[in-house]
């Protein structure tokens, strides 16, 4: 029996090691252990999803504050004033406070950098907050009109509030759509008029 030269043995051993290493690498990558995939079968978040999540988290404080002003203070006070449960001076003081609070919320929202993927949300939120401030100003004026004109002035305030709500819904829709497109859940703190099917 003829012996294989030592250099051939070493070459064959090196080739076997390289091939074996390549097979291991292919198996690991195909199982999702590399390249950014996950072995659990969970989808990989879309690029930019962290930016969207950070944006919605930054919105929570000011939108929560603004929501409290509108839903818990402004809207109930309209009916109280209309029904004579609140006098004009008290309503005027409240309305001045709403104007200041909503202007503050607007500044806070304007200060949050809007991700490029949802650039249109910035101007829409700005329009919505302008509309809420306008609503509060309409109600501030309603406190000063004669009693005979009060109901019409409050109706104008109610309509301004509905317009502001619609503007806010449009802004929120841009964010919710982007979250879904990125494979993320909708933000429960924003209006969601087109929820995904359950």
Mean pLDDT of 138-163: 95
State percent of the chain over pLDDT 70.
Answer: 74
CA-based nearest residue to 157, from 110, 94, 107? 94
Mean pLDDT of 5-10: 48
What's the pLDDT at 196?
A: 55
Higher pLDDT: 17 or 173? It is 173
What's the pLDDT at 16?
A: 42
Q: Decide if pLDDT at 130 tops 80.
A: yes
Q: List Cα–Cα distances, 188 to 152, 164, 177, 179, 192, in angstroms.
A: 35, 20, 13, 11, 8
Average pLDDT, the chain: 82
pLDDT digits (tens, 9 = 90+) for 29-60: 444 444 444 444 444 455 567 899 999 999 99
Measured CA to CA, the distance from residue 60 to residue 163 in angstroms comes to 21
Residue 78 in contact with residue 139, Cβ under 8 Å?
Answer: yes
pLDDT digits (tens, 9 = 90+) for 82-117: 999 999 999 999 999 999 999 999 999 999 999 998
Question: In which band, very low, low, confident or very high, does the pLDDT at 194 lie, cut at 50, 70 and 90?
Answer: confident
């Amino acid at each position: 029996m003829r012996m294989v030269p030592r250099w051939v043995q070493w070459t064959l051993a090196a080739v076997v090691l390289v091939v074996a290493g390549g097979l291991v690498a292919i198996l690991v990558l195909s199982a999702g252990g590399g390249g950014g995939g996950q072995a659990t079968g969970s989808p990989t978040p879309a690029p930019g999803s962290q930016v969207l999540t950070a944006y919605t988290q930054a919105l929570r404080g000011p939108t929560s504050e603004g929501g409290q002003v509108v839903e818990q203070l402004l809207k109930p006070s309209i009916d109280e004033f209309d029904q004579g449960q609140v006098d004009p001076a008290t309503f005027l003081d409240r309305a001045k406070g709403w104007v200041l609070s909503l202007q503050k919320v607007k500044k806070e929202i304007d200060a949050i950098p809007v991700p490029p993927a949802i650039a249109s949300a910035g101007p829409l939120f700005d329009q919505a907050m302008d509309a809420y401030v306008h609503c509060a100003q309409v109600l501030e004026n309603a406190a000063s009109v004669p009693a005979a004109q009060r109901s019409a002035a409050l109706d104008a305030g109610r309509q301004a509030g509905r317009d502001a709500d619609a503007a806010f819904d449009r802004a929120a829709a841009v964010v919710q759509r982007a979250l879904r497109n990125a494979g993320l859940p909708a933000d429960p703190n924003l209006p969601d008029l087109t929820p995904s099917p359950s």
